[in-house]
Amino acid sequence: MFFQELKKNLEELVGDEHKPIVIFSALWPLLRISNISGEKLCDRLLKILKEIVKERTLLMPSFTGGFKNNLCNLDLEKSQTGALSEYFRVQPDSRRSVCPFFSFIVCGAEASEIISLRPIDVWGEGSLYEWMYKKNIKIITIGTHPTHCSLTHYAEWVMRDFITYRYIKKCTVRIIHEGRDFFVNLNLFARSLRPKVINDFTWLLDKYKQNSMKIRMIKGIYISSMDAKPKIDLLIKIIKNDSLALVQNRVDFERKIKNG
């Protein structure tokens, strides 16, 4: 019964528009409700998602810890962004985007286009984040707070000239990807360590709801949907008005700015 209700609500949130879908998930609330093993839950949920998405492109974040000894083997590195994305990663029809930090697992019609992206600026021009914005991708959250979505970082990059709590960090990384071995030059928009930045996105929930986010609650579990463009365009306006809007410990940075 729970999975039938979940599928029905996800179908309504995804809709029938022919656009890519990106899933951000946390499975522990679903494990509590479903009373099945983690692997069975991942299998069932992924089947539901693929039935809903059909021929459209499906993505999930599969972030890693970066690189060790200047090497990131994307063929072996497990996803650090949840059990569902790791289960998706090892499926025979799945591929992984080329980024040692912010890779995504993808299947569907546009997988090859996504895999071919080679941006220098990880969140900038030619990046998967820019691609998702331009495609106005449908963002779906399952089991996690509706504001928890890494696409928020694209707005930070767009507004980088206003932001003082991040800085551009250059690196060269050796990548192993789909059996190929090559180097990439990257610009990261890294968080400040002194002071250490603490982000807070949860207060944005009401603003998202006012700007087309749809939310459902199933047995105490959040699921939500929002298109990328209204989300990012809203964030750009917010950051332009207040460059520290996404920072929880803003006092630390206000003091840093004041002291030069």
Token pair recorded at residue 174: 């050796």
- Quote the DSSP letter at residue 203: G
CB atoms within 10 A of CB 38: 15
Q: What angle do CA 225, 226, 228 make, to 5 degrees?
A: 140
Query: Amino acid identity, residue 127?
Result: S
Tens of pLDDT, residue by residue, the chain (260 residues): 899 999 999 999 999 888 999 999 999 999 998 889 999 999 999 999 999 999 899 999 999 988 888 899 999 999 999 999 999 999 999 999 999 999 999 999 999 999 999 999 999 999 999 999 999 999 999 999 999 999 999 999 999 999 999 999 999 999 999 999 999 999 999 998 889 999 999 999 999 999 999 999 999 999 999 999 999 999 999 999 999 999 999 999 888 777 76
pLDDT of 144 reads 96
Residue 253 · residue 164 · CB < 8 Å: yes
Q: What angle do CA 10, 16, 17 make, to 5 degrees?
A: 115
- Quote the DSSP letter at residue 78: P
Q: Is 86 exposed, middle or buried (0-12, 13-18, 19+ CB in 10 A)?
A: middle
- Quote the DSSP letter at residue 26: -
pLDDT of 257 reads 72
pLDDT digits (tens, 9 = 90+) for 48-74: 999 999 989 999 999 998 888 889 999
C-alpha 182: how far from chain center? 25
Phi/psi at 142 (5° precision): -135, 115
User: What residues are paired with 47 via a beta bridge?
Assistant: none
Dihedral class, residue 35 (left if φ above 0, else alpha if ψ from -120 to 50, else beta):
left
Query: Amino acid identity, residue 259?
Result: N
From the list 89, 204, 220, the residue with the least C-alpha distance to 139 is 204
Token pair recorded at residue 148: 């928890």
SS3 236: helix
